Amino acid sequence: MIKTEKFDLDTHFITIYRNSNEKIIRSVITDLNGIVLQDELCEYDTSGNKICDCVYDNSQTLVAYREYYSEQDYFGYRDYKLINGKFELLLSTKQEWLIADKKHKFTWYDNQGQFICYDLFEYDDDIGDMIWQFCYDKDDNMVKPKYLEQYCDYYLKFI
């Protein structure tokens, strides 16, 4: 059975659809009049691993997507956006466990594959989850987090 949750965010609504495993399979962002701004579908493989997120505009045209990948020691994703009729790479990430289930490194690369920064996350026993520590440059100096456009930012131009 599909479960639905709706959130009112003052300037728009978000409706989330979950499958029987509680995984989000679809999220729809509408304006206050119910017009679809963005429709995102999540694709899973037969083992239940997320392999792709696809973003559609209000004319049901694929406008962006996130492609997940996994290698032996790391995993990550690549974000693409439709620009002038072609899907262009926006960014890519590489994620790896420095200490299994305790310390996680999340590295960001721009659309040319150039290193931007990395974030560190550490498990907090009091919270029972991973928490963000800081953002670092290539020389391990703490830096202000850098924002890169992501595949799911499509709807932001409407609100």
pTM > 0.75: yes or no: yes
Strand 3-8 relative to strand 13-18, pairing: antiparallel
pLDDT of residue 159: 54
List, for residues 72-105, the tens digit of each pLDDT value. 889 999 999 999 999 999 999 999 999 999 999 9
Percent above pLDDT 70 for the chain: 96
At the topology level, CATH places domain 3-158 in: Lipocalin (2.40.128)
Q: Which two tokens stand for residue 46?
A: 């037969």
What digits encode the pLDDT tens for the residues 8-19?
A: 999 999 999 999
- Report the C-alpha gap between 33 and 44 in whole angstroms: 31
pLDDT given for residue 89 in this prediction: 96
The sheet carrying 103-109 orders its strands as: 3-8, 13-18, 24-30, 36-44, 50-56, 62-70, 75-83, 86-99, 103-109, 115-124, 129-136, 142-143
